[in-house]
Amino acid sequence: MISYEDALAAVLDAAKPLPAETVALDAADGRVLAADVKARFDFPRYDQSAMDGYAVLHADTVGATERSPRALAVTGEMAAGCRQTLRLKSGCAVRIFTGSRLPAGCDAVIKQELCRRDGDTVLVQRPAALGDHIRRRGEELRRGGLLLTAGTVVTPPVTGLLAFNGNATARVHRVPDVTLITLGDELLGPDEPLTPGKIRDSNGPALAAALRGMSVGRIRTARVGDDPGVLKRVLKQAIARSDVVITAGGASVGDHDHVKDVRRGLGVRERFEVVRVKPGKPVVFGTAADGTLLFGLPGNPVSALVSFHQFVRPALARLAGRMTSDSPRFTAELTEPIRNKPGRLTWVRGRLEIRDGRWFVRPTKGQGSHMLTGMATADVLIEVGEKSATIPMGDMVHVTMLEWCMHG
């Protein structure tokens, strides 16, 4: 039995970022850049105004006040996108708008709020300093400069920046294809009538929903009974066409749990099969000869979801090119005591609230590994160390946000 830290390190060591592919920009959301992106032109491309107002020579505005304004002749107008070239002369001003190219000779822009228009004359009521409200060509970035680095996640602002740079496509890491297999003769679909000895499969829908909330490729699902021959055929096919294979159930030592033997028969190298955590002790991780990652999650629904969050999610993120995949982790004040049996790192499901700018957390009702009600109302995992017993109310504890509670 190994520690959580060692188990996670083994998972991340085996999860190498997938090769790069080129996708259309509108298909790159959430993906990770696989190559640096260089600026194709100066940012901005030309000297431009940062305000709506008037392009002036700052020397023409010296001494201007509301009572004694400086009168300048308005000799033209330059709107954003205007292609004409104007030259500013002393004693003159050009009406200008935010983002507009500056007329030649201009060395300041005076905001329109500091002026009063009188026909073809503008009365400047306050002096402009040299360079006021001017964006200089290339002040943000020079052509050929590093615009975005490999490893950047494509967020909406990144998409906008790529579009502005003229990139209609993006070079990104491929996202992993995943096969999810739930195991057990006792499992039924949500619309099948319950009969004695049967239960409805919650792991399949829950884990598939968790996968859909991540940056993954194709998700295939299957439900397999306790026939080792069928399981071998399905698992062999899953390994051949997936980057990650997840099984739920069959991770314990029951007489009908054949997964371990089937995995070994297919040449899967197991990295670990028992971790010093609760819930999720019998979680299994291994690699196939072709590099496919295999996770065996416990059958209890809470154990399966917590194991997915703490082991599978980081692996999927790493395969997609994200070198860090940690959920937000911070401290909160415990509002109810926690009683714990020392010996394993325990993740207690909890619910956050904020009061007067401070975080508080309480354990949800129903902490059994089979109790989905407590998991369904949780938005964090409360970390209880291996050596901890009772944690009194009022103590500060570490909590980790559940990834699926951070969206929507």
pLDDT at 326: 72
What is the Cα–Cα distance from 29 to 25, expressed in whole angstroms? 8
Using only the alpha carbons of the chain, give its radius of gyration.
31
Instruction: Quote the tokens at residue 50.
Output: 């940062």
- The CATH code for residues 329-405 is 2.40.340.10
- The CATH code for residues 4-18+175-319 is 3.40.980.10
pLDDT at 367: 86
For 303, half-sphere exposure in the C-beta direction (CA atoms, 13 angstrom radius) is 24
Q: With H, G, I as helix, E, B as strand and everything else as coil, classify residue 393.
A: coil
20-40+141-173: CATH class? alpha beta
48-135: CATH class? mainly beta
pLDDT at 250: 74
Tens of pLDDT along the chain (408 residues)? 999 999 999 999 999 999 999 999 999 999 999 999 999 999 999 999 999 999 999 999 999 999 999 999 999 999 888 777 899 999 999 999 999 999 999 999 999 999 999 999 999 999 999 999 999 999 999 999 999 999 999 999 999 999 999 999 999 999 999 999 999 989 989 999 999 989 999 999 999 999 999 999 999 999 999 889 999 999 999 999 999 999 998 755 554 468 889 999 999 999 999 999 999 999 999 999 999 999 999 999 999 999 999 999 999 999 999 988 778 999 999 999 999 999 999 999 999 999 999 999 999 998 888 889 999 999 999 999 999 888 999 999 999 999 988 765
Question: In 182-269, which residue ranges form alpha helices assigned H by DSSP?
Answer: 203-212, 228-241, 259-265
- Give the predicted TM-score (pTM) of the model: 0.88
pLDDT at 292: 98
Instruction: Quote the tokens at residue 96.
Output: 């200008």
Residues linked to residue 180 through DSSP beta bridges, in sequence order: 221, 246
Indicate the domain borders of the chain. 4-18+175-319, 20-40+141-173, 48-135, 329-405
pLDDT at 298: 94
- Give the pairing type, strands 178-183 and 121-124: unpaired
Residues linked to residue 352 through DSSP beta bridges, in sequence order: 361
pLDDT at 252: 56
